[in-house]
Amino acid sequence: MSASNLPHEPEFEQAYKELASTLENSSLFEKNPEYRKALAVVSVPERVLQFRVVWEDDNHQVQINRGFRVQFNSALGPYKGGLRFHPSVNLSILKFLGFEQIFKNALTGLSMGGGKGGSDFDPKGKSDNEIRRFCVSFMTELCKHIGADTDVPAGDIGVTGREIGFLFGQYRKIRNQWEGVLTGKGGSWGGSLIRPEATGYGLVYYVDHMIKHATKGAESFAGKRVAISGSGNVAQYAALKVIELGGSVVSLSDSKGSLVLAGEGSFTPAEIEVIAQLKVDRKQLASIVSTDAFASKFKYIEGARPWVHVGAVDVALPSATQNEVSGEEAQALIDAGCKFIAEGSNMGCTQAAIDIFEAHRTANPGSAAIWYAPGKAANAGGVAVSGLEMAQNSARINWTAEEVDGRLKGIMESCFRNGLDTAVKYATPAEGVLPSLVTGSNIAGFTKVAEAMKEQGDWW
């Protein structure tokens, strides 16, 4: 990882160090020293694709973007992971996301490897025709490298159902076959029910298990004050599920600022619906803060994340993007009485924040501590239902919403139990101290992939 001939990739290096440090600080390498070799092998992608994407804007001007696909690991199944269209996209970010995806997918128990892709194209401000032309050009190259049994991309930031439709249509035309090559498809042509809701719902199902375990079944989401960042797909559906389970949602945010409840109460489903439409229209929260419906109930903090502004909270769900909880904000959440934090976003917490949460957990027995859950476990619901969409496509059937939601609940419980039990085995906590979900989840995901790779001759 530190070889001088490697490019500087800060996001990927952070993700690697986060995983490696938890493995080092457990008894895993002591009990299985050969796993060090597996870590070295799994940290190098099987394949990295980079290509140019040339398209024409509405003014008939040629535009050029970079396209990427990191096919990281296929030991457990076809590469699986989203496509991100955002100006910030680069190889470091996609490698970090693909690396996380390997172990997240392993934790679901489904047959999926890990990958990630995207482009530095920005869909904001573009017409539908410009987005379609870009997607056609992007898929014209990508289609040579993916397939239902090879690599199955999905949506991510900037890639909604609209983009998935354009991408799928071009794949079908060029390859002359209809197959489940993308997930997040439209409901009438191969999509799965509950897929849009899956990451947010799954996050809340996971945290519900945390609450019940820490309080020995005495508490649930009922009556809890919950701070959420982001206002996209994950944040919206997490908020709606929290409200359904009796909790209060006190914040949402976007890249320009945070909307925080001014007093008691909660966001309502109707208010979240207004915000959801705002995101479909690609507008910012700032555009509604002065309206009568919002000005009397919420305060808008420009240029800030919500964590230090929400007052007393019980649960925090970072659901926007990577590194959105700093060390200072982590301490502020602890001081505000927060007992549970789980990442709806990938690598939502900085390493400094994770260190503070973990130190507080080890120093405080039982429910007196804050308990942290990493994204690779807590937000696995999205890719889990993508896996269920793949299964439905392969069998040419559709499950009901109840069937999919039931399977999602089972997968999230399994993710929680697996991480919990593995932490007890390899990082046994002191008497009364809650186990480390980050260590347990990392080891559980890593060992499953490492064993499959070993049996297939990828390391020995």
**Active site members:** 116
CB of 207 closer than 8 Å to CB of 298 = no
Q: Nearest 5°: phi and psi at 352?
A: -60, -40
C-alpha to C-alpha distance for 173 and 160, rounded to whole angstroms: 20
| Proportion of the chain in helix, strand, coil states, percent, rounded to 5 | 45, 15, 40
C-alpha to C-alpha distance for 75 and 103, rounded to whole angstroms: 11
Burial class (CB in 10 A: 0-12, 13-18, 19+), 129: exposed
Nearest residue to 225 (alpha-carbon basis) of 199, 258, 261, 198: 261
Per DSSP, helices labelled H in 176-215 are 198-214
Helices (H) and strands (E) in the chain, counts: 16, 12
CB of 149 closer than 8 Å to CB of 175 = no
Identify residue 402 by its one-letter amino acid code. E
Overall residue count recorded for the chain in this entry: 460
C-alpha to C-alpha distance for 109 and 128, rounded to whole angstroms: 37
Write out the two tokens for 193. 């029910």
Strand partners, 227: 251, 316
Per the annotation, binding residues are 80, 101, 104, 155, 199, 233, 386
CB of 307 closer than 8 Å to CB of 327 = no
C-alpha to C-alpha distance for 204 and 224, rounded to whole angstroms: 12
Identify residue 248 by its one-letter amino acid code. S
Per DSSP, helices labelled H in 254-337 are 269-280, 292-295, 327-335
Q: Nearest 5°: phi and psi at 141?
A: -90, -45
CA atoms within 13 A of residue 414's CA, in its CB half-sphere: 17
Write out the two tokens for 48. 């990295």
Per the annotation, binding residues for substrate are 80, 101, 104, 155, 386
Helix (H) or strand (E) holding 259: strand 257-261
Quote the DSSP letter at residue 185: -
